[in-house]
């Protein structure tokens, strides 16, 4: 298991715990330099991340060791017959912004685009990208086990990106991670820090996201009992989960990344997955950021 770097903060003011806005380009350069020096190789981006792809295009040389994973444009209500061209042209535009002829992977960003009536055309567009060498690997980003297996019927994935965190253990408990590992699928776990929610104190969580206050308070008690910082506990949990290849984290500064790297390397002794199980939250209003704005 290794760390990967999410880039949404490079192009948008993002995250429930974000108070600084979009990361400035000079700071992005420092983040990338630090990431490279610590062997972080995966950069996760998307056209939907505002200026993120363009920023990476300016800062990351085409011959860099970074492996860029980008995503498809969101099709929304586009007519079925337009889907193939929309995806292929979107990939071409991503490559232009990134200043590259190919990327490590292209994933379907909006799982509904793959599971909808145009899904076969979306799958064909990604398969063509892989066949032409534009994308070394293809796959999709999903939220639930049902989405993972329905999408896998349409597009045989090299990579699947799914949410996993110390609070969101649903895809561990239902066996999804284990099945993906047995199938030889590369798993990228996103939302390990839940946009910074798992690092908040209970008072701030109650203010920003009231429905999460009890879970954050319970997590704080767990950390205090074991002498762990918030990011140490969150990332120790991720290391305890079998079947994850890359843990994608987003940061707003080089200092924050340095803290996360140090936390990821902390030896938490005998803590196992079973020790973290009581912290699991099944309420999607807490663990699914898509539900936060509507609460």
pLDDT of residue 19: 55
Q: Strands of 1-86 (E only): list them.
A: 2-6, 42-44, 67-71
Contacts of 24 (CB under 8 A, 6+ apart): none
Q: How confident is the model over 22-41, as pLDDT tens digits?
A: 899 999 999 999 999 999 99
pLDDT tens digits, residue range 238-294? 999 999 999 999 999 999 999 999 999 988 878 999 999 999 999 999 999 888 864
| CA pair distance 76, 137, nearest whole angstrom | 24
- The sign of the CA dihedral 251, 257, 260, 265 is positive
| Position 63 pLDDT exceeds 80 | yes
DSSP character at residue 166: S
Residue 211: phi and psi, rounded to 5, are -70, -15
Reply yes or no on whether the pLDDT at 78 is more than 90. no
The better pLDDT of the pair 95, 289 is held by: 95
206-250 pLDDT tens trace: 888 999 999 999 999 999 999 999 999 999 999 999 999 999 999
Question: Is 295's pLDDT higher than 50?
Answer: no
**If we measure between CA atoms, which residue out of 195, 210, 130, 133 comes closest to residue 163?**
195
Residue 14: its pLDDT value, please?
Answer: 54
At 182-206, the pLDDT tens digits run 999 999 999 999 988 998 888 888 8
CATH code of the domain made up of 2-199+231-268: 3.20.20.100
Q: Give the per-residue pLDDT at 13.
A: 77
In this structure, are residues 139 and 105 in contact, taking their beta carbons and an 8 Å threshold? yes
* Of 155, 90, 147, nearest in space to 118 by CA: 155
**Whole-number Cα distances in Å, 64 to 74, 93, 141:** 28, 20, 25
Instruction: Identify the pLDDT of residue 205.
Output: 86
For residue 294, the model assigns a pLDDT of 45
| The pLDDT value given to residue 20 | 62
Residue 293's pLDDT is: 66
Contact of 254 with 30, CB cutoff 8 Å: yes
């Amino acid at each position: 298991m290794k760390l990967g770097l999410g880039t949404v903060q490079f192009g948008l003011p993002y995250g429930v715990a974000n108070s600084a806005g979009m990361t400035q380009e000079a700071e992005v350069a420092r983040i990338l330099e630090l990431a490279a020096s610590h062997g972080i190789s995966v950069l996760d981006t998307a056209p939907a991340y505002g200026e993120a792809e363009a920023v990476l295009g300016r800062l990351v040389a085409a011959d860099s060791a970074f492996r860029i994973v980008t995503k498809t444009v969101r099709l929304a209500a586009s007519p079925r017959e337009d889907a193939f061209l929309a995806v292929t042209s979107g990939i071409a535009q991503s490559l232009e912004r990134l200043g590259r002829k190919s990327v490590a992977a292209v994933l379907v960003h909006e799982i509904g685009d793959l599971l909808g009536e145009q899904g076969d055309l979306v799958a064909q567009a990604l398969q063509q990208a892989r066949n032409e060498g534009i994308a070394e690997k293809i796959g999709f980003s999903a939220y639930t086990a049902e989405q993972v297996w329905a999408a896998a019927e349409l597009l045989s994935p090299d990579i699947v990106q799914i949410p996993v965190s110390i609070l969101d253990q649903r895809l561990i408990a239902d066996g999804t991670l284990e099945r993906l590992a047995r199938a030889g699928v590369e798993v990228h776990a996103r939302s390990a820090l839940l946009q910074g929610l798992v690092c908040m104190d209970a008072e701030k969580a109650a203010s920003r996201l009231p429905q999460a206050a009890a879970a954050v308070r319970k997590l704080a008690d767990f950390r205090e009992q074991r002498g762990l910082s918030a990011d140490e506990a969150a990332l120790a949990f991720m290391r305890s989960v079998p079947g994850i290849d890359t843990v994608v984290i987003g940061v707003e500064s080089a200092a924050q990344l340095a803290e996360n790297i140090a936390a990821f390397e902390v030896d938490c002794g005998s803590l196992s997955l079973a020790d973290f199980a009581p912290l699991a939250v099944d309420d999607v209003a807490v663990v699914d950021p898509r539900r936060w704005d509507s609460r």
